Amino acid sequence: MATLQAARGRALGLTVSSAKSWGLNRAIYYAAAKRGFIQAAGRPPQRPKGARAVREYSLGDNKAYAVTRAGATLFTIGGEVQTPEAFRKQIAARFAGTFAEAWKEAQAIIADAPREVLESQDGFYMRVYRPRRDLLAAKWEERAAERREDEAT
């Protein structure tokens, strides 16, 4: 989810740093939603430590909270900022050195999707993510496992 969402963010105009923050943010958001977490309506977002202000940010019809750090838009959830470094540690590291290949593939998948699908939360989920999630997860995990095996020998 995080890798495809990051590629989606990039295609919709975010910088690479902001796109990786977006991808990690959306992965955390959907994982929490899947577990039944619902934020109380009207409750303001938690302000991350060191952030002056949190603002609402729209990417297509998706909304998330964002802060600006060193001129970059970074996304936040639960008072935590999702940084490109966090993306590298929590997402890219799982690919065991094959992330660059997966990133290129994710960007190619996103490039084939119509813009209106990318701008739609439901359209992206139904037409891009859901049809591929199991196949991509298995394929990318297999590549990572092969890389780990190669490195062990």
* Domain around 96: 2-152
Containing H/E element for 68?
A: strand 62-69
pLDDT in tens, 50-106: 777 899 999 999 999 999 998 999 999 988 999 999 999 999 999 999 999 999 999
pTM surpassing 0.85?
yes
pLDDT in tens, 102-152: 999 999 999 999 999 999 999 999 999 999 999 999 999 998 888 888 888
Instruction: Quote the CA–CA distance of 149 and 15 in Å, as a whole number.
Output: 34
Number of domains, the chain = 1
pLDDT in tens, 12-53: 999 999 999 999 999 999 888 888 776 655 566 677 777 778
